[in-house]
């Protein structure tokens, strides 16, 4: 099936190139049949890429090692779930996933707009196919997933140990869905600029895609953080790693766009800003893929590094130059139709929120690329660490949460001070009460930034509760519905508004988790022998005994820890470290396990109040004499005899374990980060869910009738 896969990819490249040419010719000549043919090229592209994807997926599931990629990223002992998802652990497979998702979303949007945006759509088609052509060219010429393994290996290498985590396997499709969905508004913005059709209809047509991109990218970022917390043995969920940052940047500018697009739709303002935001988001999405695929910056995602940097850089340069030229030459068409009527209006708050979001993005961009900037300027590569990022992002994050509470209580166009005062009274009182309560918690008042974040979050929560209550009350007065029915009607009829409010609550909860866990966590690094006990963050951790386990893929050495609080046992934790064999043939049959890759399995007691996180680093060095001795005596041992010897090493570790190094962390409210993320996702789903067309028609008809009456009187 290798050849079928290759044919599909080559055909995909031809289809993409044809589609670009047909769409542009159709648009410039006015011949609709060529435009339609170009649009259908996108459908065909989705079809052939789906087939290529299925061929590769089937090869992974069947452990067909005639595919070089399968042999180097999977094995017969890899669990089926990981076999199914191992494709995107590879460079080649993840590029195929990227372009496949792009083709699917492009087909969906072009089908949805096939009778609308007649002038813009052909250019958007050409742009989407341009993206596809670039990525397909990469998998055809530079990173083909359909290379023949010669000779065919009897067994595969297996999946990269660090990636053996369920959320890590869902994380790339989420991120890539976000990146590729952001290509949709990007492409339509380019089409609108080229044709100078800059009314907000392209925003309305692609809003749901922008929202879906934001939703998937956000989920992807959160899953990555979850993986970092529970799989990487360093004890954190966010390291300001370049690849993490790369996924956050388009999410921030995308969030800004979702807010400011409303101003353009309602008031015809901020056109240059909006188009710049959406173009920047599209470029940042490609930049995110570039960072993980190029290896240009040091990252925990170094497994994704490759030599694709130059083509990516060229592509990004073309995108940036094209966008800048287009915006500059269309400035005359991007003149605003309205103006800000008052500083105290929702538009002004949205603009402030946009500035904060873009400010955050700029800080992260600067910090991420600082190593390259410093190297270009001074010749020496210097990098900035988490304290640098925290210095700038923490105040901006507090401002962001605060603004997400202020926005909902300020009216569009012009609010009056009197109304604002009335609307702020209850939330302000609730915030003051929360602040007083928090001051009674020991240590909180000594951390003003954390206290500010908690207060800002309390303010957001109070504002949203007030808003929902008032909306429900108004609905009950108008329709006489019961409270639950009124609430459901309110949500159903104003999905964007109330979905957005739910998102605001989620963001506030998430940031409370971040502030609490990063400010008030207790960390202890210590060496312990079985029987010893140590205190951390109000807990006693007692090292019960050492453990070992042998599986076909790895040797696991670990520890059994008893967790006590106030003398009472609360949990037993079992952190461990898995040792995967090196492929280096010069290493001995047992030593190759301890000289290969190793990953931590965290012992975690998670809860809404706090997480107790433990990781162990067994002292393999102390057992080196035994390991080397076995390898010297039985250098050719393999199969069952090697298993017996590894078992002996494990038994020895259990009986006479050397002291092991432990990292013990008690971190409050980490669970709020995941809870907040789930609330954000729920809010996103509410906003994404399509309004029933009947209801929409009813509303439009009602306003049309009302305006019709006015028109006849005028």
Partner 1 sequence: MEFVLSLLVLAAAVAVIAAPLRRGRAPDPAPDAEIAALEAPKEAKYREIRDAELDFRTDKLSGADYRALDRALRAEAIELLRQLDAAREAATKEGSCA
52 or 222: whose CB is closer to partner 1?
A: 52
Q: Is the dihedral angle over the CA atoms 684, 690, 692, 698 positive or is it negative? A: positive
Give helix 242-267 / helix 346-378 axis angle, nearest 10°. 150
Touching partner 1, residues 683-702 (CB under 8 A): 699-700
The nearest distance, CB 700 to partner 1, in angstroms, is 6
Instruction: Give the pair of three-digit tokens for residue 340.
Output: 């800000």
Q: How far is the CB of 18 from partner 1 (least distance, A)?
A: 7
Per-residue binding letters, 478-517, with partner 1 (x by CB under 8 A): x---------------x--x--------------------
Structure tokens at 419: 């109304």
Instruction: Pick the piece of the chain touching partner 1 (CB under 8 A) from 33-41, 289-297, 347-355, 385-393.
Output: 33-41
- Among positions 13, 20, 44, 279, the unique one binding partner 1 when judged by CB under 8 A: 44
According to CB under 8 A, which one of 3, 29, 76, 482 is a site residue for partner 1?
Answer: 3
Binding residue (CB under 8 A) for partner 1 from 58, 148, 204, 483:
204
CB of 493 to partner 1, least distance (A): 9
* C-alpha–C-alpha distance, residues 517 and 496, integer Å: 31
Count CB neighbours of 3 within 10 A.
10
> Phi-psi bin for 538: left (phi > 0), alpha (psi -120 to 50), beta?
left
**Which residue in 17, 21, 43, 322 binds partner 1 (CB under 8 A)?**
43
- Between residues 328 and 714, which has the closer beta carbon with respect to partner 1? 714
Tokens 């009738």, located at residue: 705
In the bound complex, what is the minimum distance in angstroms from residue 368's beta carbon to partner 1?
37
Q: With CB under 8 A, what is the number of residues at the site for partner 1?
A: 67
Residue 66-105 contact track with partner 1, rule CB under 8 A, x = bound? ----------------------------------------
Query: How far is CA 161 from each of CA 59, 65, 145, 199, rounded to the nearest angstrom?
Result: 20, 19, 21, 51
Kindly list the distances between the CA atom of residue 229 and the CA atoms of 168, 606, 611, in Å, as whole numbers in the listed order.
Answer: 12, 11, 11
- Enumerate residues 299-358 that contact partner 1 by CB under 8 A: none
Which tokens is 51 given?
Answer: 């087939």
Nearest to 258 by CA among 439, 438, 499: 499
Nearer to partner 1, 201 or 562 (CB): 201
Task: Classify 236 as helix, strand or coil.
Answer: coil
Which string of x and - marks every residue 244-283 that binds partner 1 (by CB under 8 A)?
Answer: ---------------------xx-x---------------
Q: Give, rounded to a whole angstrom, the gap between the first and last alpha carbons of the chain.
A: 71
φ, ψ of residue 223 to 5 degrees: the values are -65, -35
Query: Which range of residues in 82-90, 438-446, 598-606, 706-714 is near partner 1 by CB under 8 A?
Result: 706-714
DSSP H or E segment with residue 396: helix 386-406
Per-residue x/- marks for partner 1, 515-534, CB under 8 A? Answer: --------------------
Q: Least distance in Å: CB of 200 to partner 1?
A: 5
Can you tell me whether residue 482 is helix, strand or coil?
A: coil
Q: Which is nearer to partner 1, 104 or 660 (CB)?
A: 104
Q: Is 564 in the site for partner 1 (CB under 8 A)?
A: no
Q: Report the Cα 543 to chain-centroid distance in Å.
A: 37
Contacts with partner 1, 620-659, as mask; x by CB under 8 A: ----------------------------------------
- Alpha-carbon distance 207 to 204, whole Å? 5
Residue 467 is a binding residue for partner 1 (CB under 8 A): yes
Distance CA 182, CA 173 (A): 14
**How far lies 408's CA from each of 347, 397, 412, 489, 509, in Å?**
11, 18, 10, 19, 17
Among 185, 200, 581, 650, which residue sits at the site for partner 1 (rule: CB under 8 A)? Answer: 200
Query: Binding partner 1 by CB under 8 A: which of 80, 328, 332, 418?
Result: 418
In the set 54, 84, 118, 597, which binds partner 1 (CB under 8 A)? 118
Dist. CA 677–CA 685, nearest whole Å: 12
Segment 119 to 158, residues that bind partner 1, using CB under 8 A = 119
The least distance separating partner 1 from the CB of residue 44, rounded to whole angstroms, comes to 4
Identified binder of partner 1 from the candidate list 16, 24, 34, 161, rule CB under 8 A: 34
Site membership for partner 1, residue 470 (CB under 8 A): yes
Least separation in angstroms between residue 685's CB and partner 1 is 21
State the SS3 of 549-580.
EECCCCEEEEEEEEEEECCEEEEEECCEEEEC
Distance CA 279, CA 190 (A): 8
Indicate which single residue of 423, 518, 548, 600 sits in contact with partner 1 (rule: CB under 8 A).
423
Sign of the Cα torsion 366, 367, 369, 374 reads positive
Total H helices, total E strands in the chain:
22, 10
| Pick 28 or 532: Cβ nearer partner 1 | 28
Choice from 351, 358, 409, 559 touching partner 1 (CB under 8 A): 409
How far apart, in whole angstroms, are the C-alpha atoms of residue 470 and residue 498? 12
Question: Pick from 17, 40, 140, 340: which binds partner 1 (CB under 8 A)?
Answer: 40
Distance CA 380, CA 360 (A): 26
In the complex, least distance from residue 672 CB atom to partner 1, rounded to whole angstroms:
28
Answer whether 255's CB lies under 8 Å from 371's CB: no
State which residue, 424 or 539, has the beta carbon closest to partner 1.
424
The DSSP code sequence of 50-78 is HHHHHHHHHHHHTT-TTBHHHHHH--TTS
We find the least distance from the C-beta atom of residue 701 to partner 1, in angstroms, to be 10
By the 8 A CB rule, do 258 and 339 touch?
Answer: no
**Per CB under 8 A, does 609 bind partner 1?**
no
Applying CB under 8 A, which of residues 150, 566, 640, 710 lies at the interface with partner 1? 710
When asked if residue 32 is in the footprint of partner 1 (CB under 8 A), the reply is yes
Instruction: Determine which residue in the list 13, 41, 168, 623 makes contact with partner 1, applying CB under 8 A.
Output: 41
Segment interacting with partner 1, rule: CB under 8 A, options 154-162, 167-175, 197-205, 546-554: 197-205
CB-based contacts of 274, cutoff 8 Å, min separation 6: 203, 257, 260, 261, 263, 264
Rule CB under 8 A: which residues touch partner 1?
1, 3-4, 7-8, 11, 15, 18-19, 22, 31-34, 36-37, 40-41, 43-44, 47-48, 51, 115-119, 197, 199-201, 203-204, 265-266, 268, 409-416, 418-419, 422-423, 467, 470-471, 474, 477-478, 494, 497, 699-700, 703-704, 706-708, 710-711, 714
């Amino acid at each position: 099936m290798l050849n079928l896969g290759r044919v599909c990819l080559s055909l995909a490249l031809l289809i993409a190139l044809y589609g670009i040419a047909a769409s542009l010719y159709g648009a410039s000549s006015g011949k609709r049949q060529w435009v339609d043919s170009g649009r259908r090229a996108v459908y065909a592209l989705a079809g052939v890429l789906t087939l290529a994807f299925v061929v590769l997926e089937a090869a992974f599931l069947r452990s067909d090692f005639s595919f070089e990629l399968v042999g180097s990223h999977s094995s017969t002992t890899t669990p089926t779930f990981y076999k199914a998802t191992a494709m995107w652990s590879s460079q080649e497979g993840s590029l195929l996933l990227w372009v496949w998702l792009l083709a699917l979303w492009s087909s969906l949007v072009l089908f949805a707009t096939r009778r609308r945006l007649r002038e813009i759509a052909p250019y958007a088609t050409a742009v989407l196919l341009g993206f596809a052509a670039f990525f397909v060219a990469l998998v055809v010429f530079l990173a083909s997933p359909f290379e023949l393994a010669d000779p065919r290996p009897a067994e595969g290498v297996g999946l990269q140990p660090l990636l053996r985590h369920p959320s890590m396997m869902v994380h790339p499709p989420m991120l890539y869905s976000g990146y590729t969905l952001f290509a949709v508004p990007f492409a339509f913005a380019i089409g609108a600029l080229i044709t100078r059709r800059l009314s907000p209809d392209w925003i309305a047509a692609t809003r749901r895609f922008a929202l879906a991109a934001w939703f998937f990218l956000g989920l992807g970022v959160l899953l990555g953080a979850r993986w970092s917390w529970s799989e990487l043995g360093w004890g954190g969920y966010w390291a300001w790693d370049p690849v993490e940052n790369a996924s956050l940047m388009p999410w921030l500018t995308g969030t800004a766009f979702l807010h400011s697009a409303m101003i353009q739709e309602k008031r015809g303002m901020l056109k240059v800003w909006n188009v710049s935001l959406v173009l920047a988001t599209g470029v940042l999405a490609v930049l995110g893929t570039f960072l993980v695929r190029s290896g240009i910056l040091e990252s925990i995602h170094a497994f994704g590094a490759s030599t694709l940097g130059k083509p990516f850089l060229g592509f990004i340069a073309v995108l940036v130059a094209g966008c800048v030229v287009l915006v500059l030459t269309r400035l005359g068409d991007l003149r605003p139709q309205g103006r800000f009527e008052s500083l105290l209006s929702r538009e002004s708050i949205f603009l402030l929120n946009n500035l904060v979001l873009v400010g955050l993005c700029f800080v992260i961009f600067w910090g991420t690329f600082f190593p390259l900037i410093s190297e270009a300027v001074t010749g020496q590569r210097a990098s900035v660490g988490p304290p640098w990022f925290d210095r700038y992002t923490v105040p901006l994050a507090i401002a962001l949460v605060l603004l997400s509470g202020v926005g909902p209580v300020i009216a569009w166009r012009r609010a009056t001070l009197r109304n604002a005062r009335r609307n702020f009274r209850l939330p302000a009182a609730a915030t003051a009460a929360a602040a007083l309560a928090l001051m009674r918690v020991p240590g909180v008042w000594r951390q003003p930034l954390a206290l500010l974040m908690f207060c800002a979050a309390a303010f957001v929560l109070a504002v949203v509760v007030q808003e929902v209550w008032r909306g429900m009350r108004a609905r009950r007065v108008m329709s006489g519905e019961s409270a639950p029915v009124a609430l459901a009607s309110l949500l159903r009829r104003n999905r964007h508004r109330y979905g957005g409010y739910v998102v605001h609550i989620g963001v506030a909860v998430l940031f409370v988790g971040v502030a609490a866990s990063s400010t008030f966590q207790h960390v202890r690094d210590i060496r312990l022998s079985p029987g010893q006990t140590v205190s951390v963050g109000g807990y006693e951790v007692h090292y019960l005994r050492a453990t070992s386990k042998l599986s076909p893929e790895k040797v696991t050495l670990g520890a059994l820890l008893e967790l006590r609080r106030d003398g009472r046992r609360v949990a037993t934790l079992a952190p461990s470290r898995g040792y995967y064999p090196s492929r280096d043939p010069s290493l001995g049959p047992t030593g190759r396990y301890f000289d290969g890759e190793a990953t931590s399995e965290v012992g975690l007691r998670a809860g809404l109040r706090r997480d107790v996180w433990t990781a162990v680093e067994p002292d393999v060095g102390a057992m080196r004499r035994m390991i080397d001795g076995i390898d010297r005596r039985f250098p050719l041992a393999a199969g069952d005899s090697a298993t017996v010897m590894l078992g002996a090493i494990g038994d020895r570790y259990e009986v006479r374990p050397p002291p092991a190094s432990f990292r013990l962390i008690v971190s409050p409210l980490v669970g709020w980060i995941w809870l907040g993320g789930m609330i954000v996702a729920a809010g996103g789903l509410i906003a994404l869910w399509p309004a029933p067309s009947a209801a929409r028609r009813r509303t439009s008809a009602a306003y049309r009738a009302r305006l019709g009456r006015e028109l006849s009187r005028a």
